[in-house]
Structure 1
Amino acid sequence: AELRGGLQRACLATGAVFLAQALALALDAPVWALFALAAVQGVAFAAISGGFRALLVPVVPPEDLARANTMEAVFVEVAFVAGPTLAGLLGLVVGARGVLLAMAAASFASVLVARRLPHLQPAVGRPSAAPWRVPAARAVFGLGLSLGVCVGLFESALPARAAELGFQAASGGLLLAFTSIGSAAGGLFAAGQRDALAHVRGQACALLVAFALLLVPVAAAGNVWWLGAALLLAGVPIAPLNALGSLVLQQAVPPGRQAEGFAVYIAAILVGAGLGNGLTGLLLDDIGAQALLLLSVVLPLAAAAAVGAAVLRRGRSDRSRAMAGLG
């Protein structure tokens, strides 16, 4: 189907799910029904975000594509700060059902906004290879999964850590806003850089190591003020990593299946975040919030080790080909 029309239908579906959730709350529906609606909502959201990222390729000049990806990642971080804040303020005035109705209205309004997007037909001769069959794309999906677990782990441990430091657990949401602000700042800096695809594995490895190292002060912070400052710094590599993954996908996945590729990428991040939240639920009572925050350091380090191993393998392969050519 044509991409713009697909995005409009996904926005309509998302709005309908929000309306159904508001109705379910009004009718005191069972918890399993709310979980089912949340799952449907997640499917629709992945389609929307993946489709918009796929649109960057045909509408942005190639020389500006790296900056466009980074700016898209920055706006996602801005939304992560503004969205929960707005929802919290609305919730005080109109309650949870009112928030869901406002979200439905925003989804329906986005259908009208999407009418101004370019009319793009599907690629002729749809490639047979699914995005997950492309080796470079699989690496990006794995990276998204590992980062999702890391972020899910430390974001779900933050309320408990805030309580350990003498603050209300509800302040964890406010603390997470510092991470998004730091991520947006890192993205803005990365947007000004050129040659984003030069030494892409080296960049990814450096950003992952930086992310891991910056998570250590998050776990070590002894009061909530230092914790907020540490979260601000820890967020800096997130948007550049996200943008780098998007750029690699745009280069690796055939145009006819890029929307699928981005949907899978976002789904991998969300699945990872869910796994991280689950780990917190399983381990929090046994090892405590601070230990969980330290555990989150392992994931970006493991991803950096995997990327570094790939760099070394490629270097050896290049040297072998060069020697064969000389012979």
Structure 2
Amino acid sequence: MAGYRELLRTPGVARIIAAQLTARLPNGMTSLALLLHIEYVTGSYGAAGLVLAATSVGQAIAGPVTSRWMGRWGMRRVLLLTLAVCVAAIATIAAFTLPLPAYIALGLVAGLATPPVQPAVRTIYPKLVNSRQVTPLYSLDASLQEVIWIVAPVLITFVATQVGTVPALGMIVVVMIVGGLWFIFSPEVARVRIPRSRRSFGKVLAKPSVILATAVGFLLIGACSAVEAGVVASFGHDGPEAGIVLAVFAVGSLSGGLAFGHLPIGPWAMARRMAIVTAGLVLAVLSLNVWWLGGTLFLAGIGIAPALAVVFSMTSASVKFSETAEAYGWIGTGQLIGAAAGSAVAGFLIDGVGPQGALGSGLLFALAGTVVAVVFVRSFPDLRHRDASPIPDTEPVDTVT
């Protein structure tokens, strides 16, 4: 904890972490609020699912594209443009009763215009601290983002069910504006300029570390989504058990990140951390008792934030600074697709087998992630004796001979 206190005392670090967490808080609210609102307006969960699918598709497409734009037009311009469009789309959904195709189109626009705060802040981090603090900072970020998934769903569900779905969407718009502007006009965003990448779009995926980070992120988030679906199916929507168990899952991740984030990252770090997630899920599938699930998912959660810290650090250390934002955009897209795949597989298994089928699918996702980390261990960078800062961009310099 002393290391984290030192990090937070570094000028600008605490401010940028708080600003980006506030700006990203709507990420934990929007899907649930749209689900409840569209179902209320149309009377159909199927219709709501189509809108959510369109939003997710938009986010998956936009991730690497808007992230790369930041190197061409600057972070502030891209963030302001996407923020304005996303706010307008969500506000329109809240303000007007529209036919389903219009809601789907607006959901797609909101997804396409989701501000790339996450790639932006993870590009900024290495410029705020010294080299030995980069990996702990990524770990702290991965840990603290669990606060979003603990607080946001509870808050938006309370507002949507007790006040109304329109006020819930209105609250998202307000938080999006306040958090987005706070982050955009933070001094750190102005000071860091992403060089324009000289490589064509998508070439960063040729880096083995980026492919591995994207693949493991896909499998890890797929496991988490399947587990969430299984927990909800186990306890239903009427009681507090599902929310409590999922909160414990997130607290496990937060605890793991804070406890192990300072550890050096070697080639086997990802395999060990994914193995913790897998071990917890092996135990979780044995019983649906609320106390058993809470304890086993806390254990599984201990590996999540540390594994994500490896994803962020290995990406940063393996690409040029001009390519970091696009690389994080691709990783975010992989995680979004993983979330959709995990939820879809879990949904089919819940209908066919029951909640334990969903937990079992989560276990298989996590096990696959562990296998990938073991099989390709030689492709993971060894950061035990080097920092996770991006590779500097260089260009030819004319000399007189």
Question: What TM-score does the superposition give when structure 2 sets the normalisation length?
Answer: 0.70
Task: Write the distance in 2 (CA, Å) between the matches of 1:236 and 1:41.
Answer: 33
Q: Which residue of 2 aligns with 1:238?
A: 304
Q: Which residue of 2 aligns with 1:43?
A: 112
> 1:284 and 1:183, CA in 2 relative to 1: closer, same or farther beyond 3 A?
same
Q: Which residue of 1 aligns with 2:210?
A: 137
Task: Write the distance in 2 (CA, Å) between the matches of 1:67 and 1:79.
Answer: 19
Task: Write the distance in 2 (CA, Å) between the matches of 1:222 and 1:105.
Answer: 39
Task: Write the distance in 2 (CA, Å) between the matches of 1:172 and 1:34.
Answer: 29
Deviation (angstroms), 1:160: 1.4
1:124-183 deviations in Å (ceiling 9; x for gaps): 5634473212121011111111112212212112211224xxx84774344211111111
2:155 paired residue among 62, 73, 86: 86
Q: Which moved more, 1:110-119 or 1:58-67?
A: 110-119
Query: Structure 1 counterpart of 2:148, which letter?
Result: A
Q: Which residue of 2 aligns with 1:265?
A: 331
Q: Which moved more, 1:286-295 or 1:233-242?
A: 286-295
Is the 8 Å Cα contact of residues 221 and 335 (structure 2) preserved in structure 1? yes
1:95-127 deviations in Å (ceiling 9; x for gaps): 111111111111111243121232233315634
Structure 1 gaps of 5+ residues are 315-327
Percent identity among equivalent residues? 23
Task: Write the distance in 2 (CA, Å) between the matches of 1:301 and 1:173.
Answer: 25
Q: Highest relative contact order (Cα 8 Å, sep 6+), 1 or 2?
A: 1
Is the 8 Å Cα contact of residues 131 and 261 (structure 1) preserved in structure 2? yes
Task: Write the distance in 1 (CA, Å) between the matches of 2:180 and 2:173.
Answer: 11
Task: Write the distance in 2 (CA, Å) between the matches of 1:33 and 1:253.
Answer: 40
Task: Write the distance in 2 (CA, Å) between the matches of 1:131 and 1:46.
Answer: 21
1:151 paired residue among 219, 224, 227: 224
Is the 8 Å Cα contact of residues 127 and 256 (structure 1) preserved in structure 2? no
Task: Write the distance in 2 (CA, Å) between the matches of 1:178 and 1:34.
Answer: 34
Query: Structure 1 counterpart of 2:225, which letter?
Result: G
- The answer to whether 1:188 aligns with 2:258 is yes
Q: Which residue of 1 aligns with 2:277?
A: 211
Three-state SS of the structure 1 residue aligned to 2:114 is: helix
Three-state SS of the structure 2 residue aligned to 1:121 is: coil
- The answer to whether 1:110 aligns with 2:173 is no
Q: Which residue of 2 aligns with 1:323?
A: none
1:222-267 deviations in Å (ceiling 9; x for gaps): 4222222222222111111111100111111221121111121111
Q: Which moved more, 1:53-62 or 1:232-241?
A: 53-62
Task: Write the distance in 2 (CA, Å) between the matches of 1:255 and 1:102.
Answer: 36
Q: Which residue of 2 aligns with 1:322?
A: none
Q: Which residue of 2 aligns with 1:250?
A: 316
Is the 8 Å Cα contact of residues 69 and 247 (structure 1) preserved in structure 2? yes
> 1:298 and 1:85, CA in 2 relative to 1: closer, same or farther beyond 3 A?
same
Three-state SS of the structure 2 residue aligned to 1:220 is: coil
Q: Which moved more, 1:1-10 or 1:73-82?
A: 1-10
Task: Write the distance in 1 (CA, Å) between the matches of 2:379 and 2:152.
Answer: 43
Q: Which residue of 1 aligns with 2:347?
A: 281
Q: Which residue of 1 aligns with 2:83?
A: 11
> 1:93 and 1:169, CA in 2 relative to 1: closer, same or farther beyond 3 A?
closer
Query: Structure 2 counterpart of 1:117, which letter?
Result: P
- The answer to whether 1:53 aligns with 2:126 is no
Query: Structure 2 counterpart of 1:172, which letter?
Result: A
Aligned CA RMSD, in angstroms, stands at: 2.3
Three-state SS of the structure 1 residue aligned to 2:111 is: helix
- The answer to whether 1:98 aligns with 2:167 is yes
Q: Number of aligned pairs?
A: 304
Is the 8 Å Cα contact of residues 214 and 330 (structure 2) preserved in structure 1? yes
Deviation (angstroms), 1:44: 3.4
Task: Write the distance in 1 (CA, Å) between the matches of 2:288 and 2:132.
Answer: 45
1:188-243 deviations in Å (ceiling 9; x for gaps): 1123x2433xx1x3010011111111012222234222222222222111111111
Query: Structure 2 counterpart of 1:4, which letter?
Result: R
Query: Structure 2 counterpart of 1:150, which letter?
Result: A
Deviation (angstroms), 1:16: 2.2
> 1:194 and 1:226, CA in 2 relative to 1: closer, same or farther beyond 3 A?
closer
Task: Write the distance in 2 (CA, Å) between the matches of 1:84 and 1:34.
Answer: 22
Q: Which residue of 2 aligns with 1:179?
A: 249
> 1:313 and 1:267, CA in 2 relative to 1: closer, same or farther beyond 3 A?
closer
Q: Which moved more, 1:107-116 or 1:267-276?
A: 107-116
> 1:217 and 1:30, CA in 2 relative to 1: closer, same or farther beyond 3 A?
farther
Three-state SS of the structure 2 residue aligned to 1:195 is: coil
> 1:133 and 1:37, CA in 2 relative to 1: closer, same or farther beyond 3 A?
farther
Task: Write the distance in 1 (CA, Å) between the matches of 2:374 and 2:172.
Answer: 42
